[in-house]
Amino acid sequence: MTKETDLYQPIKGFLEDAGYEVKSEITGCDVVACKPDAPMVIVELKTRFSMDLILQGVERQALAEDVYLAVRNPETPSKRKNWRKRRRPILTLCKKLGLGLLIVNPATAHPVEVLLDPAPFRPRKNRRLKTRLKKEFYARVGDPNTGGVSRSKIITAYRQDALRCAAALQFSSSLALKVIKDVTGVARAASILQNNHYGWFERVSRGVYKLTAEGQAALLQYSEAVAQLRPVAATAPPKSSKATEQSKTRSC
């Protein structure tokens, strides 16, 4: 079984080949390397990548600009498979923390492989996602979700608009799209009803929709969320223009 001490000689030889003078266990650092006119290098050794290793590396950044984490190359097929799955996120994490990463295989002719050199990291902002985040924040009414949920469905601004449309339909067998849009104030009511992402709506005729059984169930399931929406979305819609005209005819 590989020990941390088995990694020292390969690391020492690698750094000495690069012109460094190398010493171990200097004020708690596993490996310290120095050479004239070059930044000091610190290497922390572990047989596997772990949170303890990351914390050690971050702590050593107070002492040197160039800090590397060194881990043993996976020795078994299962460990190699696990490493392949984790390699990309591990490299991303080290890059963001400004840490270098070395892989050590003592049994090979070239036992040290440099996967990443330490360098300052400045994250690039994703303007598209930032805009999407702010748009969703301000479009969503209230705070209908609980932070940290993983299995329950998130109530997004889109779902809230769909619930507004469903609430408008719950008092009628069917309604014209224009009426639903006017009652709810949902600008994208047409696309919500036409795409029918949740299966809550059914097209009766051109521009006319009704609520499905799934839609009725959704209004019960999300009753608390519906109560937080604009009151107009949960009240009975006005009669259609055709029904109003018929009423006027009868009254005459």
Domain that holds residue 66: 4-116
Domain identity same for 158 and 91: no
The CATH number of whichever domain residue 81 belongs to comes to 3.40.50.10670
Question: How many structural domains comprise the chain?
Answer: 2
Tokens representing 90? 């591990």
* pLDDT confidence of residue 232: 40
Q: Is the pLDDT of residue 101 over 80?
A: yes
Tokens representing 224? 């608390």
Confidence of residue 7 (pLDDT cuts 50, 70, 90): very high
Q: Is the pLDDT of residue 65 over 50?
A: yes
The CATH number of whichever domain residue 210 belongs to comes to 1.10.10
* pLDDT confidence of residue 245: 41
Bridge partners for 66 per DSSP:
41
* pLDDT confidence of residue 251: 40
Q: Pick the residue with more confidence: 225 or 123?
A: 225
* pLDDT confidence of residue 3: 84
CB neighbour burial string for 172-192, b if at least 16 within 10 angstroms, e if fewer: bebbbbebbbbbbebeebeeb
* pLDDT confidence of residue 230: 63
Question: How far from chain centre, in Å, is Cα 196?
Answer: 26
- The answer to whether position 143 is within a domain reads no
* Reported pTM: 0.63
